[in-house]
Chain A
Amino acid sequence: MSGKNFGFVIKAGRQIDIDVTDSTLADDIALEVGAWRACISCGSCVATCPAGISFRSELPTLNRAFQHNVELPTLKSCFLCGKCQLVCPRGIPTRYLSILIMQKLQSRKNVAEGIPSV
């Protein structure tokens, strides 16, 4: 990268590049469950999860949504038991969020593959 030297460097892997970041998925979900932005990454959900999913780290992944192809494969092992919801100090409906994220991902995949939504 050419240009002026400002005295600090931004590594490519750590920058949020608006050109390749797609926040529409995160925004869509926030429209329905605004509470998910209230996550403070306390980790209570992770501590109680019987499936060993780190929900708190899924949310930033979703927020960054690099290059349109965000995938949250760990949610496929979610039991939907709702324990994370009961322990969440911020009252985030994590169980519904889990469903909603998968729903949105699925419909995106369907659109990409040309499958009509039911």
Chain B
Amino acid sequence: MLQKVFHPFDPFVLLFTIGFTFMGIYFLYKVIRWIEKLSEEDKELLINNIFTVKTWQALGETIQESLLHKRIFGVNRRLGFMHMSLAFGWFMLILIGNIESIYYSGRFFKPIFVSVFWRFFDPGASFPKAVYLPGFAFWMDFFLLLVISGLTLAIIKRFRSQWLGLKRTTRQRPVDRFALTALWLIFPIRLLAESATCGVNGTGSFLTGTLGHLMASSLSLEPFVLPIWWSYSFVLMVFFLCLPFTRYAHIPSEAVLIFFRKYGIRVSKESPGFTDLSLHACSSCGVCIDVCQLADSLPDRRIQSNYFIKALRYKEPSNVQWDCLQCGRCEKICPVELEIMPLRQISRKDMEIGSKATISGHNGRNGQKHRILYFAGCMTHLTPSVIRSMTTIFEQSGSSWYFYDSDGKSCCGRPLKLAGQIEGATSVREQLEADFLASGAELLVTSCPICYRMFKEDFVLPGITVLHHTQYILELIEWNRIKVNPSMLKGAYHEPCELGRGSGVTSEPRKLMSKLYQSDATPLIDGLCCGGSLGGPGLALATRRAVARSAFNDITLGKPDVLVTACPLCKKSFAPVSDIPVLDFSEAVVRSLILEPTQPESHRALKSSREIPVTAL
């Protein structure tokens, strides 16, 4: 017995050791490569932040996400339980097994296999320790049961994904399936192995003890014990050997990702290391499939984010990066919080389009200063009624405003950015930025959510407040600068992707709805894409129409009389599939506006002295 204490070894542990060592070395190599391929700024971020409180915060987040899977719980409880039980359960088995082995062997440093196969070396109370703690056996059984319950759900999910609340589950690559089989086998074999050992020795708790007792009473167990432990070690080896090359690479990668992200590193073209890390961190859980609006209209094209990420990771030849609408629903729901939209954008090749794009600039300004610049946006020029309505609203409010792109020759640069033409987008942005700042304006109002998002996210405009026209109109109404009479009709609001999910402007349009319509039939769903998005240049018109039609049906479930949106592109996309009027907010406001007689010039000057204080917005 005493010999066992100091030399717990059996040849079967070698299989596990080979697999585990390989995985460890390979992963270490990967981490070094990732850091190597970071941009200089990102390396600096890493060095500057590693010894700060952020590391502890990242550790907390790792426990919360990599082990407990809190965010998946938020999306789908059954799926969350499945992931949690596998990850947290397995982690606790390792942790408790380790503590148990330290407690009984009295040695802190020992080969990893000793704690992994501890039950084999010590079926329970076989070591001369003053107090035997039966608690270990109970908790080991408890967590093994937890893992097995998660495993059962995983198997059900593969064959009946609806039972777990998923319409579709991820289609796997053959290597992934192989690793999945190994993973599925690990725990039942572990249960058998531990039960057999416990059955022979008459130990074990409620699970391994009972099963071991049953097994021992029906057959002579002795000859089976070693073969079962051999097979347990074998499946562990197979799993660890496969891990770096399959979706299971996410297990270690996700933790690294959380740390890097905490240090402020983001997906960019300059940091291929972080991009590669993000691709490895996708667990391919599949929640991005059901939220994708193209899942129904393009079922055979694997464009959903987990397929896209796989195509990038394994460098599969595919053209799917041009097919995504970039509505951002998958990015919002992603439990790993991968930056999917930037990943998509940088996967689209930069090829000089827009590199020579020039904006016309507002030459007609004649050196006059205006507090408000109105930037209609390219698309708004295709919906002239929006421009007319905005003109009426500006006139009625008595503001001093200037129509920046009245000639329709400016662009915010976001269409180029969405198409991956970063160079062109940057050039357009810099030209516009300089021109805006030179204008001396304090407020920039735009009618297009695409422009709004670009101004908010990418532009640096010190001293200029950027507002979408819904926010601006709401301010006007709340400050009594314009008056509206709520319509008797029932309205429903369609939230544009770029405004709601993209820029976080959610409450203002809804408040505006309540001021414009007496009954509001806005659905409680996350903003759908109208199909007109500039995100997916490769999508055919028929697909876009199909997306528009299904989105329209979902939005108008409450049978509204009028559909109100805040984006010229949404208006254009819904118009052909809608049987009710589709209005932009500006048009809806003008319809309900209580018109005041046009003010004489002098009066207007007086009025403009009581502009809205933009700082209060």
Contact = CB atoms under 8 A, between A and B. Distances in A.
Contacts of A86: 379, 382, 572
Interface stretch (A9-17, A54-62, A96-104): A96-104
B421 interface: yes
A95 B411 CA distance: 15
B408 interface: yes
B381 interface: yes
Given A80-B415, A99-B537, 12 more contacts: A50-B408, A52-B409, A76-B353, A76-B357, A79-B357, A79-B415, A79-B428, A80-B421, A83-B379, A86-B379, A95-B537, A106-B351
Nearest to A104: B351
29 contacts: A48-B381, A50-B378, A50-B381, A50-B409, A76-B352, A77-B354, A77-B356, A78-B353, A79-B354, A79-B378, A79-B415, A79-B428, A80-B354, A80-B418, A80-B421, A80-B534, A80-B537, A81-B411, A82-B378, A87-B382, A91-B541, A93-B537, A95-B534, A95-B537, A99-B322, A102-B353, A103-B349, A106-B349, A118-B349
B57 interface: no
Interface of A: 48, 50-52, 73, 75-83, 86-87, 91, 93, 95-96, 98-99, 102-103, 106, 118
Contact of B354 (A76, A91, A96): A76
A115 to B, nearest CB: 13
B355 A76 contact: yes
A86 B351 CA distance: 23
Contacts of A83: 378-379, 381-382
Contacts of B372: none
Given A80-B419, A95-B537, A48 B382 contact: yes
Interface string B409-438: 111010110110100100010000000000
Closest 5 CB pairs of A and B: A79-B411, A76-B356, A96-B537, A81-B378, A80-B415
Nearest to B568: A86
B426 to A, nearest CB: 13
B604 to A, nearest CB: 31
B382 A102 contact: no
Contacts of B419: 80, 95, 99
A100 B431 CA distance: 26
A83 B352 CA distance: 20
A42 B144 CA distance: 71
A83 B534 CA distance: 10
A99 B416 CA distance: 10
A79 B431 CA distance: 13
Interface in B321-344: 322
Contacts of B227: none
Contacts of B351: 99, 102-103, 106
A14 to B, nearest CB: 30
* Most A C-beta atoms less than 10 A away, residue of B355, B415, B421, B537: B537
B538 interface: yes
B608 interface: no
